Chain A
Amino acid sequence: MANSKSAYSFAGKKQKPDTHIIVVWVDNEAGVLARVVGLFSGRGYNIESLAVAEVDQKQNISRITIVTTGTPQVVDQIKLQLKKLVPVHKVADFKREDKNVIFKEMALFKFVANNGKLNKAFEACKNFNPVILDQTNKSNVIQITALRREIDTMSKNLKKFGLVSVSRTGAVAMTRGSEIFK
C-alpha cells in the first residue's frame, strides 16, 4: 500500500465515518451557539443539521442537537472538545442506527395545485403524522414529522403533487424508556 501523503494524517487503516447525533446541554448565554458551531468549523468537523432551543427556563439551559459524520476518532474528539467549553454541562452521543433513541425532524410543505393533487399529497404523507396547518382552494401547508432520509425522499416524491416550498428543522433526539442521560 502506498504511504499516506501527509505527515499530518491519521495513522494506519482509514476508519469508516459514521453518522452521529450529538446532544449538548449548555448555559443559555450570549455567544454560546457561536462557541459550539465555531468549534466544529474551526476544527474541520461537519454539521449536517442543527437544532437548538432553551429547554429549562429556570436554570437557563439550552439543548443543542447536532447531526455530524466522522470517524470514531473524530467523533471522540468532538465530544472531548465540546466538554472543555466552559458553558457546556454535558454531552451525549448517539449513533443514528441506535434503536434506543428516537430521532425526529419536522418539515413544513407548501403545495400549490388543484384539489385532486392536494388530496393526493396529504394521502402520501399519511405515514408521517401529517397535519394541515393552512388551506385555501389552490394551496395548503402540511406539517410532517419523520426521519431525515424520509423527509428527503418525501420532498423528492411530492414534487409531482405541486410541492413548491420546504422548510425543515434539524433533528432532535430523545432516549426511549424511563432513563435519562446524565
Chain B
Amino acid sequence: MPKLYSGAEIVFKCLEDQNVSHIFGYPGGAVLPIYDELKNFNSIKHILVRHEQGAGHAAEGYARSTGKPGVLLVTSGPGATNAVTALTDAYMDSVPLVCITGQVPTHLIGTDAFQECDTTGITRPCTKHNWLVKDINDLAEVMHKAFEVATTGRPGPVLVDIPKDIQFQKSKYKNYKKNKKLNGKSHDNYSQKNIDELINLVSKAKKPIFYTGGGVINSGTKASELLRELVYATGFPITSTLQGLGCFPADDNQFLGMLGMHGTYEANNAMYSCDLMINVGARFDDRITGKIDEFSPKSKKVHIDIDPSSINKNVKVDLAIVGDIKSVLTSTLKTLKKSKNNFSKSNKHQISNWWEQIQKWRSKRSLDYIGSEETIKPQYAIERLYELTKDKDTYITTEVGQHQMWAAQHYKFNKPNRWMTSGGLGTMGYGLPAAVGVQIAHPKKLVIDIAGEASVLMTMQEMSTAVQYNLPIKIFILNNEYMGMVRQWQELLHDKNYSESYTAALPDFVKMAEAYGCVGIRAKTPEELDDKIIEMLNTDRPVIFDCLVDKQENCFPMIPSGKPHNQMLLGPKDQKEKKITGKGRTLV
C-alpha cells in the first residue's frame, strides 16, 4: 500500500518538487497544521514577516529578482484579506506568486465562522486563478497546477485556499506531469509570415523605435540578451517603460531613457514622430500613451506580447505577434540575419536623419535640474547613490511617488531583474518588503530601497523582519515631509491647495532605526551626502538612511494628463507657461 500523507505534508512535498527554497508567511489558526509540518522539511526556509501584505511584496521582490515564483503562506480571514493588495499588485505587474491560505474547516464554510472570509471570492478578480480545495485527493494536483498557471503564459498570482480539516486528512501523493497545453491554451501563436512582415517593416522604416516593457524581463535573461542583439543589429533607438528598465543598458547611446508621463523628452518625442513602433512586451498603459487619440499618429505599430488580450486593448496595432518574447526575438534575429546580413550598416543612411532629430531632442537635456549648495536636491541624491553603487551589482526597489520616478530617471540599470517597482497598481509601501524578498534571494548582493518617507511608513514594520534574518537592506529615504507626488499634482491642478499632503509629526527615522535594532544615518547637506552614503554602504546591517531633501522639488519632465507626447512640461518655467486647463484636471 502506498504511503499516505497529511494535507499539510502534501503542501510541502509539492513545494519541494517545485524547487521552492523560501516561503514568506505569517501563522494563524487555520494554517497551524501546515506550520506544524515545517520542521520536517529542511529544504524549505520560512521567513516570518510582520504583516501579510509584507509577505506578498517580499514574495514579489523575490520573484522579480530571480524569475522564479514567489510563495506566501497566510492564514484565513484577515491573513487572506491583508494579502489582497500584494496579489493585486502582482496581477497588474505580471509577477508569478503562489499564495497558500488556510481556511476554516469545510463543515464551517458559510457559517460566518471565526476568521472566515470568502477568500476565493475576494481574490477572484486579482488572481489568474484560484482554488478552494475541498477534497484531500485533489490537493497535490491543485498545488502543482497552481505553479503551472502562475508561471506559464503571462505570469501572475494564483491562490490555493486549504480548509483546516483538509490539512489533517490523509491521501496518496503523486508528482505531477506537466501538460503541454493548459486547458487548450497555447502561448506561441505566430507564424514565420508574421516575422517576415516585421522584417519588411523594419527594412522600410525611416523613423523607427523600439518600445520595450516588463514582458522582456518576464521572458528571462536570455530575452534581454536577444533584445540587445536585435537593437544593435538594427541600429534603431530604443525606449523602455518603467517595468522594462534594465533589459537594455541605460548608458548605451541607442537608449533614449524611459518614456511616458515622466519619461525623457527625446523618448516621448520619438514615440510621437516615429513611423514604425515595435512594442516588445509592453501594454500601451495610459501612463505611457498619454492622450490616446493623439498617440503616435503617424506610425505603423507592431506589438509582440504573450497575452493575446493585450493586443488592440488600448491601441490598435498593424501587426500583432502573439508569443514568448524570447522565441519571437530568436526567430526575428534568425530571419534578419538570413535576409539582410549587416543590416545596421546598410541601413545606417536610411535612419541617419532620424538620429539627427533625436540628438536635437536630446540636447534639451530634459532630466537636468537646478542644483543647490544648501539643500540636497532629490535628483542629486539619486545620482550620487548611482555613482557610488554602480560598480556593485546593485538591486533597487522603490516605493511609489516622486522618488520612484527620480530613481527611474537617474539610476541607470544595465541588467534585467535589478529593478523592482510597483508600476501598474502603484502600491505605496511596496519597496521595503520587496527589498526583504530580494535580499533573501541574493544574500550577498547590495539591495537598496529608494523610498519616500510617506510610502515607507506604510510597511515600516518589515524592518523587524530584516533585523531578524540579518538582511542588510538599505532604506534610502528621500524625505521631503510631503506626499510629494500628491503635492505636485495639487500644485499643478488645484491652485497649490496642499490638502492633507503634508505629514506632520513624522517619526525621527534615525531613532526609529535604532529602536528596530538597525542603523540610522541622516544626511542634511549636499556636502556630507557622499560620506554618509559611503557610511551606509560600509554598514553590513540593515540601514535606514534619512536623506533630507528639497521640500518643493517637482518631478520633471512630465506629460500633463490629457496631453499627447509632444506637449511635455520640461521644468518649473515651462509649468507656468503651459498651465493645465479644465480638461486635464479630471484625468489624474
Contact = CB atoms under 8 A, between A and B. Distances in A.
Interface of A: 3-12, 27, 30-31, 34-35, 38, 42, 73, 76-77, 80-81, 83-90
Contacts of B125: 38, 42
B124 A7 contact: no
Interface centre among A9, A80, A85, A89 (most CB of B within 10 A): A80
A31 B313 CA distance: 26
B316 A83 contact: no
6 contacts: A3-B291, A4-B293, A7-B562, A8-B286, A83-B185, A86-B182
Contacts of A42: 125
Nearest to B313: A77
Contacts of A9: 292-293
Interface of B: 120-121, 124-125, 128-129, 132, 134, 149, 182-185, 286, 289-293, 295, 307-309, 311-313, 315-316, 561-562, 583, 586-587
Nearest to B154: A84
Given A5-B583, A84-B307, A38 B124 contact: yes
Contacts of B583: 3, 5
Q: Lowest 10 CB-CB distances: which A-B pairs, in order?
A: A80-B309, A86-B129, A7-B587, A11-B292, A7-B562, A42-B125, A80-B308, A7-B291, A81-B309, A11-B293
A34 B312 contact: no
A85 B316 CA distance: 23
Nearest to A4: B293
Contacts of B312: 73, 76-77
A27 B131 CA distance: 13
B93 to A, nearest CB: 17
A15 to B, nearest CB: 11
B286 A83 contact: no
Contacts of A10: 292
A47 to B, nearest CB: 16
A9 B293 CA distance: 8
Nearest to A79: B309
A143 to B, nearest CB: 35
Nearest to B125: A42
A25 to B, nearest CB: 10
Contacts of A86: 128-129, 149, 182-183
Nearest to B121: A34
B98 to A, nearest CB: 14
Contacts of B124: 31, 34-35, 38
B292 A5 contact: no
Nearest to A90: B184
A158 B313 CA distance: 44
A7 B292 contact: yes
Given A5-B583, A11-B295, A31-B132, 17 more contacts: A4-B292, A6-B562, A7-B292, A8-B286, A8-B587, A9-B293, A12-B293, A27-B183, A38-B124, A38-B125, A77-B312, A83-B308, A84-B185, A84-B308, A86-B129, A86-B182, A90-B184
A90 B183 CA distance: 9
Nearest to B132: A30
Contacts of A85: 129
A171 B165 CA distance: 42
Nearest to A27: B183
Given A30-B132, A42-B125, A11 B315 contact: yes
A76 B313 CA distance: 9
Contacts of A31: 120-121, 124, 132
A7 B286 contact: yes
Nearest to A39: B125
A76 B312 CA distance: 9
Nearest to A86: B129
A89 B181 CA distance: 12
Contacts of B290: 7
A7 B182 CA distance: 36
Nearest to B307: A84
Contacts of A35: 124
B320 to A, nearest CB: 11
Interface centre among B291, B316, B586 (most CB of A within 10 A): B291
Contacts of B311: 80
A77 B308 CA distance: 9
Nearest to A3: B293
B313 A88 contact: no
Nearest to A41: B125
Contact of A11 (B149, B307, B316): B316
A75 to B, nearest CB: 11
B509 to A, nearest CB: 37
Contacts of B292: 4, 7-11
Contacts of A90: 184
Contacts of A5: 583, 586
A4 B313 CA distance: 18
Interface centre among A4, A5, A11 (most CB of B within 10 A): A11
Contacts of B149: 86
Interface centre among A7, A9, A73, A86 (most CB of B within 10 A): A7
Contacts of B313: 77
B578 to A, nearest CB: 16
B309 A84 contact: yes
Nearest to A89: B184
Contacts of B286: 7-8
A11 B120 CA distance: 36
Contact of A89 (B121, B183, B561, B562): B183
A35 B124 CA distance: 7
A22 to B, nearest CB: 15
Nearest to A9: B292
Contacts of A34: 121, 124
Interface centre among B182, B295, B583 (most CB of A within 10 A): B583
Contacts of A87: 183
A62 to B, nearest CB: 14
A77 B121 CA distance: 23
A34 B132 CA distance: 14
A5 B583 CA distance: 6
Contacts of B587: 6-8
Contacts of B289: 7
Contacts of A81: 309
B298 to A, nearest CB: 14
Contacts of A3: 291, 293, 583
A85 B313 CA distance: 17
B86 to A, nearest CB: 19
B88 to A, nearest CB: 12
A155 B544 CA distance: 71
